[in-house]
Amino acid sequence: MGPTMTSPLVDPILHWYDEHARDLPWRRPEASPWSVLVSEFMLQQTPVVRVLPIHEAWLTRWPTPAALAAEASGEAVRAWGRLGYPRRALRLHAAATAITEEHGGEVPSEYDDLLALPGVGDYTAAAVAAFAYGRRQVVLDTNVRRVLARTVSGVEFPSRSVTRAERDLAADLLPADPPTAATWSVAVMELGALVCTADRPRCGGCPVAAACAWQAAGAPAYDGPPRPVQTYAGTDRQCRGRLLAVLRDTPGAVTRDRLDAAWDDVPQRERALASLLADGLVVRHDDGRYALP
């Protein structure tokens, strides 16, 4: 597809988004770039419904990067609540500190400046540049990759990691007008979240079903390497969560026996606590008590 050609996918998906986009606070016209950045950190591997109340509370307490940077990183971990993957809270605090010290408290608009922030990778940098500032960026999250794999490449799921061919395809599909390109990126993401889902896609409600290569091929089943299945119950991750919950719900430091009571498996508890200390999510005081950083 040449640079002057428009894919037949673009207009139908944009029109669908106009009618079906969810009203999310970080998408509203008045949303600040900081709101967008916070949402992108929180939405990593976490459903929107769980993020909404935490995002609202976060922006109420810390409406600017400087407000967050002025507090201890442990307060970010505490406010993260039960979103999971709490290292994201530490990284977001570090990003807020860098924004405050290096960018005058304003979330940068350029992709390279965003990418240089702690905890910000390619996807997050591109997403903030596009969604907060209307820049023309290739935005490839799980939902976007799945939609493009099905509609264009004719396969049920994309490869485990982003390929150069996949990135080139996404770039070719971007509308030339930067604001339209930014809307296109979020529209494809929304289609993947609501219609072209990983399990039980609603192809009957898809605006581009007639142009979908996967449907045209008879919707062949995925035949690549086994897709990872996440488990939680009984894992080190659950144990870490239990230990953090004790610290999060208790002001100040706690004694070791409080942590011991949170998980029965001693070797697993020791391993989980050691990893929390190594990650900087927990600190041990000189008197032997434990606390958030």
- pLDDT tens column, 232-282: 778 899 999 999 999 999 888 999 999 999 999 999 999 999 999 999 999
39-71 burial, b at 16+ Cβ within 10 Å, e below that, comes to: bbbbbbebeeeebeebbeebbeebebbbebbee
Domain boundary among 229, 245, 279: 229
CA distance 149 to 162: 11
Distance CA 148, CA 7 (A): 12
Mean pLDDT value across residues 222-229: 75
For residue range 5-56, what is the model confidence (pLDDT) as tens digits? 468 899 999 999 999 999 999 999 999 999 999 999 999 989 999 999 999 9
Q: How confident is the model at residue 98 (pLDDT cuts 50, 70, 90)?
A: very high
Do residue 16 and residue 61 come from a single domain? no
Regarding whether 17 and 28 lie in a shared domain, the answer is no
Among 69, 102, 133, residue at a domain's last position: 133
Residue 212 shares a structural domain with residue 157:
yes
Kindly state the average pLDDT of the residues 54-80: 97
Give yes or no: residues 100 and 117 share one domain: yes
CATH number at residue 84: 1.10.340.30
| Claim to verify: residue 110 and residue 182 sit in the same structural domain | no
Active site (annotated) includes residue 40? yes
- Let me know whether 33 and 61 are in one domain: yes
4 and 148: one domain?
Answer: yes
- In terms of domains, do 53 and 187 share one? no
The residue from 117, 133, 149 where one domain ends is 133
Distance CA 167, CA 138 (A): 7
Q: Are residues 68 and 168 in the same domain?
A: no
- 169 lies in the same domain as 268: no
Return all residues near 250 (Cβ < 8 A) that are at least 6 apart.
258
pTM > 0.85: yes or no: yes
62 pLDDT above the threshold of 50: yes
Average pLDDT, the chain: 93
Give the number of domains in the chain.
Answer: 3
Give the pLDDT of residue 3: 42
| Catalytic residue from among 30, 40, 56, 101 | 40
Q: Are residues 43 and 127 in the same domain?
A: yes
Handedness of CA 175, 181, 186, 189 (dihedral sign): positive
Contact 73/119 with Cβ under 8 angstroms?
A: no
Which structural domain range is residue 127 located in?
22-133
At 4, the pLDDT band (50, 70, 90 cuts) reads very low
Give one word for 240, left, alpha or beta, with left for phi > 0 and alpha for psi -120 to 50. Answer: alpha
CATH code of the domain in which 196 resides: 1.10.1670.10
Any idea which of 167-181, 187-201, 229-243 has the lowest mean pLDDT? 229-243
Let me know whether 169 and 128 are in one domain. no
DSSP character string of 228-252? P----TTSHHHHHHHHHHHHHTSSS
